[in-house]
Structure 1
Amino acid sequence: MSLTFPNPSRDFQKSRNAVGFTGHDGVFEVQFFVEVDALAEFETDLNASQTLETRSLAAFDTLRSSILEVAREAYTNSRRASYILTAADFR
């Protein structure tokens, strides 16, 4: 099977300093986390009055298709149960 993302939900995880989302490979669930620093590099609307959570989730939503492509590539290269995507993964 291939990795899919049927659930569009994502959540800000302060303890990880990342936005988390889930992929599925058949019945297997795969957790992904995008570091806030990686998302910050791509922020287009730098509104300092917004919280880090709001800015991070907005950046994730804007970059969703690119993030899912990077997640699929990471999963294809090594199948694990969880991944932390950093700025280096988006270059």
Structure 2
Amino acid sequence: MALAFPNQSRSFDDVNIGVRFIGHDGMVSVPFMVESEALRKMGFATQSESSTLAAFDAARTSIYEIARDVYSHARQTTYRITAADCV
């Protein structure tokens, strides 16, 4: 089954400084976190919680594509999208 993102919710992670979101592979929830540095590499400002969440929303389609790629390489319990994943 393909990784899908039917739930548009996301939350700011102030400990790891990034945005958490959930994908689904069939009935399995797949947690992701995109680092604010990855969003900056994509050209977005991330100085605050609100700007980081706005950056995520603006880049959502690209982030989902990157998440699918990261997910396809290996099965893990959680996935972290870093600046290195954003080429």
Same fold, TM-score > 0.5, yes or no:
yes
The alpha carbon displacement at 1:18 in A equals 1.1
2 CA distance for matches of 1:52 and 1:14?
A: 10
TM-score, length-normalised on structure 1? 0.87
- CA RMSD across the alignment: 1.5
CA contact (8 A) 1:19 1:33 kept: yes
Q: How many residues align?
A: 86
> 2:65 matched to which residue of 1?
69
Shift in Å, 1:27: 1.3
Unaligned segments of structure 1, at least 5 residues: none
Deviations 1:45-65 (A, max 9, x none): x5xxx9610110011011000
Q: 1:84 aligns with which of 62, 74, 80?
A: 80
* Bigger radius of gyration: 1
Secondary structure of 2:4 counterpart: coil
What's the CA shift string for 1:67-87, capped at 9, x where partnerless?
Answer: 000000111111222111011
Instruction: Give every structure 1 segment of 4 or more consecutive aligned residues whose post-TM-superposition deviation is greater than 3 Å.
Output: none
Moved more, 78-87 or 55-64: 78-87
Look up the match of 1:24: 24
* % identical equivalent positions: 45
1:41-80 alignment to 2 at 5 Å? Answer: 41=41, 42-43=43-44, 52-80=48-76
Residue 2 of structure 1, CA deviation: 1.1
Is residue 37 of structure 1 aligned with residue 37 of structure 2?
yes
- The secondary structure found in structure 1 opposite 2:20 is strand
What secondary structure sits across from 2:3 in the alignment?
Answer: coil
